[in-house]
A = this chain, B = another copy of it.
């Protein structure tokens, strides 16, 4: 099986904690990021937790963009899962990190649907 998708895992540490707790800001940042890098949004789900923290998920034609924030740690875990070539996932990752004023973003890329997984097993 070929590579079907590129999955970026973003560890966003040392972000602006206030922004991490602002649902409307995060929603706007995610939608703008998606649009800027050529994604087509097909659905969304955003939720603010008590006492703090936001979960935001955009379903996009190319797969999904998600974020979970822990304002108390200045930390967010974001995922950018994309398939196809019309979308620029690394640019999306950079934009999202910048929007949250993240000083130490770490990005890992994992390929999904690879033939090599056959050998790795469970």
Contacts and interface: CB of A to CB of B under 8 A. Distances in A.
Interface of A: 1, 4-5, 7, 9, 11, 13, 42-47, 49, 55, 57, 59, 61, 63-64, 66, 68, 70, 73, 75, 77, 79, 81, 83, 104-107, 110, 112-114, 117-118, 120-122
Nearest to A73: B1
The copy count of this chain in the complex is 2
A61 B5 CA distance: 26
Contacts of A110: 9, 110
B68 A81 contact: yes
Query: Which of A5, A61, A122 is most buried by chain B, counting CB atoms within 10 A of its CB?
Result: A122
Nearest to A75: B113
Nearest to A93: B122
